[in-house]
Chain A
Amino acid sequence: MKKEFYDMRVRILLILIIMMIIFISFGAVQQLPVNSNSAYNEVQEQLSQEYKRLDFSPEEDGWTYYIYSQWFSNTFGLLVPIIAIIIAFPLFSSESENNTLVFLVTRKGRSFTFLNKVFSGLFVLLLLLIFYSVFPIFYSALFSKSFLPDFLPHFSVSILLGGLFWYSITLLFSIIFNDKVKPILASLGILLISTFIGFINKLDFINTYNFIKGREILNSGKFDLIYSLVLLIISMFILSISYLVFKNKDIDI
């Protein structure tokens, strides 16, 4: 794992810094949407309905709702698949492109190499996602903002499972392709296609963003357990396929 963490250090640092900048900027502009919303009765009405569903008071829990609806449901939620893709795409493809996979496989074997890479990447990804899921608590405490973390586990699990799903897809492409560009293009392509197909009413389950951004949590205050289980099973299935592909792949032909 030492090598994998060393290889990922720049990406981890960049993601940490960029996300930190985004969150701080996000925190600083909190008043803008609240003020603009208050100018429109219709929007305010809608907002009140949302607050009722989550059992919040718009006056007292504005910051809490802002975190759930804007940070989890928009900014962070939107970036989760991108972060997963950035962590996963070079894990194998970079080694294939530079022909260094031979160095690893002839020292540690295929199974160890696979598990080592998969778990290192997954560990880093989950750590980053957990960090930016619980970060609002620390930020709120630091800036004396009232934040109710009741729905934090719901949003966090959605984000972690969404991250795992896109990580597993990108990992498979990283094994299949022998250069670094194709896994990114393939993963982003699937992300775009699934998002657009999800705009069709009856196929909205294909758009994973609905789940990652916690649409169901915002609408009903409930966590979509079935969708999360399906996503988990598909991710495990893709990881198993990835293992089989890597086990049987010709390296350095």
Chain B
Amino acid sequence: MTDFDGKLVLRVENLSKSYDYNKAVDGISFDVKEGDFIILLGPNGAGKSTILKCIMNLIKSYTGKISLDASPAYLPEKKNLYFSYTVDKLLDISKSLKFALNVTKCASLLKEFDIPLNEKISNLSLNEVSLVYFSLVISQSSSIYIFDEPTWGLDPLYKEKVIKYIKNLSTDGNTILITIHEPYPVNEFDGKLLIINEGKIVYCQKERDSLDNKSFADFYKRVLKGETK
């Protein structure tokens, strides 16, 4: 179990989850404390999203223990929204579902992402739907933000913006748990890194070494091959 300083927000103990005979998560344990920025890095199918779904109570059939002392703001891997709604209507409905949503902040983010409020969700591109979802999540007031592949499917320009907003959230002292499947954005975040492969934590790094993107990518490959512990 990783052990960082601060007030405990989330504790995952010996978490395991199987799909039929395939073990997606295999005895994972870690803590998230107030103000932490935890990055779960791993290839597709490593079990990162399954861990988050268990934390978010979306998956019930797991073994192990999860203690979450907060109401999280969650961005799922599949960013599906109500296609028949307009963005404006979605904002209105979201406010009725989550009082902690700052509608003004969300509307200003959507404006920055060039998403018209009167547009139907079904008419938006995948990139735009992801940005709408992201805007709704970071406009929530929450004690922990959980992002599952926040930059997946985004245009490079918006990828940078999303990374910037997540960094700002962290700078403001928020607690963040994020999954990423490619090594590139990891260097952008000053977080604590857990590399996950085949359902297990194969590398845990408390303090980040300053590596350039290429060196980090090489390091990541070595970890996945089991050459670095």
A: residues with CB less than 8 A from B are 2-3, 6, 98-100, 102-110, 247-253
Contact = CB atoms under 8 A, between A and B. Distances in A.
Contacts of A109: 57
Contacts of A102: 56, 58, 74, 76, 78, 80
A109 B97 CA distance: 10
A252 B78 contact: yes
Nearest to A10: B84
**Interface of chain A: mostly helix, strand, loop or mixed:** helix
B93 interface: yes
Interface residues of B, number: 23
B96 interface: yes
Q: Which 5 A-B pairs rank lowest in CB-CB distance, beginning with the nearest? A: A99-B80, A107-B97, A251-B58, A106-B74, A2-B96
Contacts of A249: 60
A252 B74 CA distance: 13
A105 B76 contact: no
Interface in B67-85: 72, 74, 76, 78, 80-83
Contacts of B93: 2-3, 6
8 contacts: A102-B74, A105-B56, A105-B57, A106-B58, A106-B76, A107-B94, A107-B98, A250-B58
A103 B75 CA distance: 9
Given A99-B78, A106-B74, A248 B60 contact: yes
A173 B192 CA distance: 44
A252 B76 contact: yes
Nearest to A105: B58
B53 A252 contact: yes
